[in-house]
Structure 1
Amino acid sequence: MSTAPLDRIDRKILDILQREGRIAITELAQRVGLSTSPCSERVKRLERSGVITGYHARVAPEAVGKTLLVFVEIKLSSKSGEVFDKVKKELLHMPEVQECHLVSGGFDYLVKARLRGMGEYRHLLGDILKKLPVPAESHSYVVMEEVKETLALPLDR
Structure 2
Amino acid sequence: MDNIDRKMLEILQEDSRITIIDLAKKLNLSRPSVNERFRRLQEKGIIEGFTARISHEKIGKGTLVIIQIGNLKVVCHKFEEIVKEEKAILECHRVTGSDSYFMKAVVSSTKELEELVDRLVPYGQLNTSVVLSSPVSNRTLLPEDEFLHKN
Q: Give the alignment's TM-score, normalised by structure 1.
A: 0.84
What is the CA deviation profile of residues 96-154 of structure 1, one whole-angstrom value per residue up to 9, with x for unaligned ones?
11111111112111111011011111111112234x3xxx1111111122222115313
Moved runs in structure 1, 4+ residues, more than 4 A? none
Q: State whether residues 11 and 156 of structure 1, in contact with CA within 8 Å, keep that contact through their aligned partners in structure 2.
A: no
Q: Which residue of 2 aligns with 1:106?
A: 98
- The two structures, once aligned, show a CA RMSD in angstroms of 1.7
Letter in 1 for 2:142: P
Secondary structure of the structure 2 residue equivalent to 1:108: strand
Q: Distance in 2 between matches of 1:57 and 1:151?
A: 15
Q: Which residue of 2 aligns with 1:71?
A: 66
Q: How much identity, in percent, do the aligned residues show?
A: 32
Letter in 2 for 1:39: V
1:133-152 equivalent positions in 2, closer than 5 A: 136-150=124-138, 152=140
Q: Which residue of 2 aligns with 1:96?
A: 88
Letter in 1 for 2:84: L
1:77: Cα distance to partner? 4.3
Are residues 1:17 and 2:12 paired? yes
The number of equivalent residue pairs is 145
Letter in 2 for 1:54: G
Unaligned runs of 5+ in 2: 146-151
Q: State whether residues 72 and 110 of structure 1, in contact with CA within 8 Å, keep that contact through their aligned partners in structure 2.
A: yes
Q: Give the alignment's TM-score, normalised by structure 2.
A: 0.87
